[in-house]
Copies of this chain bind each other. A is one copy, B any other.
Amino acid sequence: MGTSRPDDPPPYYAAHVFVCGNRRPDGHPKGSCAARGSEKLRDYMKVRAKELGLSGVRINSAGCLDRCEHGPCLVVYPEGVWYHAETTADIDRILTAHLRDGERVPGLFLPPETRT
């Protein structure tokens, strides 16, 4: 689990991005990504990825990624790098630096807590 094997099928997407679209009721103590604007950011990211001509990149909506307190959040697989994105400028940085240029945007990383 968690490790590719030599005989696994080849990757279908070079990068598969999941943007949390979970919405909790207004006033919920945890908040939610959609209540913080993730749906518009996801739609923007899809359009911009196409405009940038990023091949092999899929921008996907997802249900609750269960890191609500850090939302709006997204994760890039297979590398498993999580980002907090609040604005379209944040999305642009992730698209150009990480997904186009293969770099990272550490200023938007989620805190590196590990699950127990």
A residues lining the B interface (CB < 8 Å): 1-5, 8-16, 18, 21, 55-58, 60-67, 75, 77-82, 98-100, 102, 104, 109-110, 112-115
Are the C-beta atoms of A60 and B63 separated by less than 8 Å? yes
A1 contacts across to B, CB distance below 8 A: 14-15, 57, 79, 98-100, 102
Are the C-beta atoms of B77 and A8 separated by less than 8 Å? no
Are the C-beta atoms of A112 and B10 separated by less than 8 Å? yes
**Smallest CB gap from A81: residue in B:** B8
Contact A77:B16 (CB < 8 A) given known A66-B58, A99-B1, A102-B1: yes
Contact A5:B98 (CB < 8 A) given known A10-B112, A80-B77: no
Question: Can you tell how many copies of this chain the complex includes?
Answer: 2
Shortest 6 CB-CB contacts between residues of A and residues of B: A61-B63, A9-B112, A77-B77, A78-B78, A1-B102, A4-B79
A11 contacts across to B, CB distance below 8 A: 2, 80
Bound: A12/B100 CA distance, A: 23
Bound: A99/B77 CA distance, A: 17
**Smallest CB gap from A54: residue in B:** B1
